[in-house]
């Protein structure tokens, strides 16, 4: 498990990307999906996930619909139109940021 600070700023982008790929997902499913895709290296805690999802909804990027499954309410999240656009943008931005960080971490001091 990575130090938690690294996840900051990337969580909402990850959620948006997963929703873009999967159509609709519920909270627990998102957490398990990230867990699998990261080979257990990124474990999203519920205390992080649900506030993040609520914020995405407040911002109009995702919408919810509740379904009854096994006598329990399951809340599905899916992207709005705005969310689809934002997802693409944020994923792109994150990729660029990663490249920039790698550029810095791979730098050798130049003799100036």
79 touches, from DNA, a copy of itself, none (C-beta below 5 to 8 Å by class): none
Which listed range, 53-61, 67-75, 78-86, 103-111, lies at the site for a copy of itself (CB under 8 A)?
A: 103-111
Q: Which is nearer to DNA, 72 or 108 (CB)?
A: 72
Cα 89–chain centre separation: 13
Is residue 8 at the binding interface for a copy of itself, with CB under 8 A as the rule? yes
Instruction: For residue 43, give every residue at least 6 positions away whose Cβ sits within 8 Å of its Cβ, in sequence order, or none.
Output: 1, 31, 34, 35
Is residue 101 at the binding interface for a copy of itself, with CB under 8 A as the rule? yes
**What is the DSSP code (8-state) at residue 4?**
G
Instruction: Decide: 48 and 31 in contact? Cβ < 8 Å.
Output: no
Closest by alpha carbon to 10, among 35, 44, 33? 44
Which listed range, 3-11, 55-63, 67-75, 76-84, lies at the site for a copy of itself (CB under 8 A)?
A: 3-11
Alpha-carbon gap, residue 84 to 99, rounded angstroms? 23
Binding site for a copy of itself (CB under 8 A): 2-10, 13-14, 17-18, 21-22, 34, 37-39, 41-42, 91, 93-98, 100-105, 107-109
């Amino acid at each position: 498990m990575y130090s938690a600070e690294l996840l900051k700023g990337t969580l909402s982008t990850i959620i948006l990307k997963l929703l873009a790929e999967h159509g609709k997902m519920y909270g627990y499913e998102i957490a398990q999906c990230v867990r699998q895709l990261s080979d257990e290296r990124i474990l999203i805690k519920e205390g992080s996930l649900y506030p993040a999802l609520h914020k995405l909804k407040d911002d109009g990027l995702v919408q919810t619909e509740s379904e009854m499954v096994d006598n329990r309410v399951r809340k599905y999240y899916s992207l709005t139109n705005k969310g689809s656009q934002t997802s693409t943008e944020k994923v792109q931005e994150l990729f660029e940021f990663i490249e920039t960080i790698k550029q810095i971490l791979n730098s050798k001091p130049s003799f100036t």
